[in-house]
Amino acid sequence: MKPVRIEINGRPITAEVEPRQHLADFMREELLLTGTHLGCEHGVCGACTVLIDGAPARSCIAYPVALDGAKITTIEGLIDDPVMVCLREAFTREHGLQCGFCTPGMLIMARDIVLRRPGLDEEAIRHELAGNLCRCTGYVGIVRAIQSVAQERVDAAPVVTRGSEVNAPHYASPLALPVTPARIAAADPVIAPGAAPADEAAFVVEPLRNPVEIVQEFNVSAPRAQVWELFQDPARVIACLPGARLTQPCDGRNVVAEMAVKLGPIQAAFGGVGMIASNPANWSGTIDGRGVDSRSATRIQARLNYVLTEIEAGAATRVRVDVAYVLQGPLAQMSRGALARDLAARMTAAFAANLDAAIKGNGTASAAAPLDAGSLFFAVVKAWLARLFGRG
């Protein structure tokens, strides 16, 4: 058992909790807040969505032991919220519910959508709702209800719920350009695409909260000094990543880039900024970055550490890559557990092959195409089935 202090619906809570008990069970069983429903318990269906420090989150994969000091809001805590009142009326008017099981999580997500993106259209709403599943309605009434409230708020200013401002109905992010400490202090104001920064650019590294962590290793058939030389050239490193490209000239330290990802019918292009640092004394380096998909407003923040080690008497190099990242928004389901790790392994394999080809002067043609996470997913399933039935 571990003591934690959290605030739920404005009420301070001090309790002893099991490390393995997730937030939804804690609220339902210990506090009798049963408005939060449990569906898949894998963080996929969205039925258990609550607000953690103002942002929607899955309570079935959040743990009180990791939320000490956090502020939680459930559907019960929003009973008198003006926006939620409008949404409840709209859901009733547009027949946006049937069995009602998904409705609490759907309403909390809908509130976040209309606050961040007042006036948005049907297509954008469907993108935003990608992480909330309903088995009854067909979503038509739900979308109509959310759109009606969004249109009522068309003249309202976007409300910051995830640490960034969103300009309805299209996301315009400051991450498309280098940012300065002054801009960060001003809560990341929106900058028009293509606008020049008012002062000298400087990337500010921010801490990651509850990141997903993945470790990958691979070998490159080249001496360590040669691999190190390539890693000091951001343009060559970016060219080895599937679907990635520089969008502005690089000064060797600060990077402005884009990475295209395809997941079935969903296509995302994460544009963002990063900073590269290296330590020749121990053949290691760090890449910090953050970005946003302009279509879905999904945000990613990541840190990559790499270490180069000599192998095969100096003829080859072992590359160890430690990645920690936080993905927030409609596409966050792409970071789920084993699937994310399998996809990361296959992406690392593609990066390793491109890196080896670049060092040998054979080009990196395969890096130009968008990363097709959908095809990688089916490859993962195929490999799993082959292992299961003893083939492959």
Buried b vs exposed e over 236-247: b needs ≥16 C-beta within 10 Å?
bbbbbbbbbeee
Contact predicate 371/259, CB 8 Å: yes
CATH number 3.10.20.30 is the correct assignment for the domain at 2-77 = yes
Chain centroid to Cα 385, Å, comes to 28
Confidence tier at 365 by pLDDT (50, 70, 90): very low
Q: Matching CATH topology for 80-152 and 212-388? A: no
pLDDT at 61: 94
What is the phi/psi pair of residue 275, to 5°?
-135, 135
In three-state secondary structure terms, 91 is helix
Confidence tier at 193 by pLDDT (50, 70, 90): very low
Window from 39-53, 100-114, 360-374 with minimum mean pLDDT:
360-374
- Residue 289 in tokens: 């970055």
Confidence tier at 173 by pLDDT (50, 70, 90): very low
- At 214, which helix (H) or strand (E)? strand 212-220
CATH number of the domain at 80-152, please?
1.10.150.120
54 Rama sector, left if φ>0, alpha if ψ -120 to 50, beta otherwise = left
Q: What is the DSSP code (8-state) at residue 65?
A: G
Contact predicate 55/328, CB 8 Å: yes
- Residue 3 in tokens: 């003591």
pTM of the predicted structure, to 2 decimals: 0.47
Q: Using alpha carbons, select from 81, 139, 137, 138 the residue that is nearest to residue 114.
A: 81
Assess whether pLDDT exceeds 90 at residue 90: yes
The domain locations on the chain are: 2-77, 80-152, 212-388
pLDDT tens digits, 301-315: 888 889 999 999 999
Task: Return d(Cα 173, Cα 164) in angstroms, integer.
Answer: 8
pLDDT at 162: 65
Residues 6+ apart with CB under 8 A from 88: 107
CATH number assigned to the domain with residue range 212-388, chosen from the 4 options 3.30.530.20, 3.40.630.30, 3.40.710.10, 2.20.25.10: 3.30.530.20
What is the phi/psi pair of residue 270, to 5°?
-85, 110
Contact predicate 62/48, CB 8 Å: no
pLDDT at 114: 94
